[in-house]
């Protein structure tokens, strides 16, 4: 069995045995599907995306068998694996660093979480990481990841029951950051937008460091409707227009906060991670109202890809 520990990159896991398979498996389990991929990185070469697969799995009781079948299908036995916590399984909070000795920071943070999390704080698994570029003369803020121990244990138990070798548990905000670190725009500041069915995640980063991250309750369900209307040159109805404009304004405020709070040059690039839907008209609308360059992420520019189908896995 794995022992959950705390690490700089999220909730980590220690194992007695070292994986014997090259590459790293990425695993994401949502309410209705299991997504899995494998990337091999050789020094001095572009990362090789060897495999991506997704399987619909709405029955929790079928997850173990479904995941094991994927492991066997792609010959991933004993491969090192990083799993990502799902939406609603954790909270990412920005808190002022407690005025205590460094050795007591985690205990003090746990005490602060009492009124901020939706589960008993003594059942929380937490981790912290720094926010770069903060001005001197004021107490710095840090990011705190807080997850209920129950879903974390359920995830580790599920993977332990298969032939994968779990190495770490991560969160979406840091996973998205892995993409931005590979982009040339990362040297000047970049906004990354990841859209799921019901939510959108916006990351603002520079030099592979996460400065700000925010989740909005706007997802592909709404943005698909917007895209259809805009593509037909129809006028958006009042409610749809209000939701879209509010979303754009929220992103604009984030960009303004990044520039003023951290005294950094403005971000002029918004990158959209791949989605299963065509959102060209919506993205053009967002780009025009933000006044910055907006484009979809081209995975071929980041990875060597050999006969990998991506569409159904976004």
> HEC string of 208-276?
CEEEEEEEECCCHHHHHHHHHHHHCCCCCCHHHHHHHHHHHHHHHHHHHHHHHHCCCCCCCEEEECCCC
Torsion of CA 16, 19, 23, 25, to 10 degrees: -60
Residue 25 pLDDT: 94
CB 128 within 8 A of CB 108: no
CATH code of the domain made up of 174-305: 3.30.420.40
For residue 23, the model assigns a pLDDT of 83
| φ/ψ of residue 64, rounded to 5 | -60, -45
pLDDT digits (tens, 9 = 90+) for 148-183: 999 899 999 999 999 899 999 999 899 888 888 889
**Averaged pLDDT for residues 27-37:** 91
Domains 3-86+151-171 and 174-305 share a fold: yes
Which pLDDT belongs to residue 265?
94
Whether the per-residue pLDDT at 17 is higher than 50: the answer is no
Mean per-residue pLDDT over the chain, rounded:
85
Q: What is the pTM of this model?
A: 0.83
Lowest mean pLDDT among 6-15, 117-126, 233-242: 6-15
Percent of the chain whose predicted confidence (pLDDT) is above 90: 44
If you ran DSSP here, which 8-state letter would residue 299 be given? H
pLDDT, greater one: 158 or 16: 158
Q: What is the mean pLDDT of residues 1-8?
A: 36
**In the predicted model, what is the mean pLDDT of residues 238-261?**
92
Report the CATH number of the 90-148 domain: 3.30.1490.300
Domain boundaries, the chain: 3-86+151-171, 90-148, 174-305
Structure token pair of residue 18: 């070292």
- pLDDT of 202 over the 60 cut: yes
> Quick check: 83 and 27 in contact, CB under 8 A?
yes
pLDDT in tens, 57-93: 999 899 999 999 999 999 999 999 999 998 888 999 9
Identify the pLDDT of residue 295: 86
Write down the residue that tokens 């879209």 correspond to.
244
* CATH of the structural domain 3-86+151-171, one choice from 3.30.950.10, 3.40.50.720, 3.30.420.40, 2.60.120.10: 3.30.420.40
CA gap 35, 27 in Å, rounded: 6
Compute CA distances 26 → 35, 86, 101, 134, 146, whole Å: 8, 13, 36, 32, 21
| In the predicted structure, residue 311 carries a pLDDT above the cut 50 | no
């Amino acid at each position: 069995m794995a022992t959950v520990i705390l690490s700089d990159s999220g909730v980590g896991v220690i194992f007695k045995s070292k994986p014997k398979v090259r590459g790293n498996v990425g695993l994401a389990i949502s309410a209705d599907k299991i997504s899995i991929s494998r990337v091999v990185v050789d020094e001095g070469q572009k990362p090789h995306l060897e495999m991506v697969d997704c399987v619909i799995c709405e029955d929790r009781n079928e997850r173990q068998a479904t995941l094991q079948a994927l492991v066997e299908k792609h010959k991933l036995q004993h491969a090192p694996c990083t799993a990502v916590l799902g939406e609603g399984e954790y909270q990412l909070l920005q808190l002022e660093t407690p005025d205590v000795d460094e050795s007591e920071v985690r205990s003090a943070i746990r005490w602060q979480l009492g009124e901020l999390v939706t589960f008993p704080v003594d059942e929380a698994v937490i981790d912290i990481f720094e926010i770069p570029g903060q001005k001197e003369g004021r107490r710095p803020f840090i990011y705190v990841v807080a997850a209920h121990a129950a879903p974390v244990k359920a995830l580790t138990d599920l993977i332990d029951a298969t032939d994968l070798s779990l190495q770490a548990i991560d969160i979406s905000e840091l996973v998205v950051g892995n993409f931005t670190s590979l982009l040339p725009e990362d040297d000047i500041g970049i906004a990354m937008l990841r859209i799921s069915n019901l939510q959108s995640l916006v990351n603002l980063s520079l030099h592979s460091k996460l400065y700000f991250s925010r989740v909005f309750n706007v997802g592909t369900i709404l943005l698909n409707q917007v895209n259809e209307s805009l593509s037909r040159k129809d006028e958006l109805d009042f409610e749809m227009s209000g939701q879209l404009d509010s979303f754009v304004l929220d992103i604009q405020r984030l960009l303004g906060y990044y520039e003023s709070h951290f005294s950094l040059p403005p971000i002029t690039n918004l990158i959209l991670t791949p989605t299963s839907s065509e959102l060209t008209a919506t993205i053009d609308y967002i780009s025009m109202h933000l006044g910055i360059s907006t484009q979809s992420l081209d995975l071929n520019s980041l990875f060597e890809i050999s006969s990998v189908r991506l569409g159904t896995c976004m």
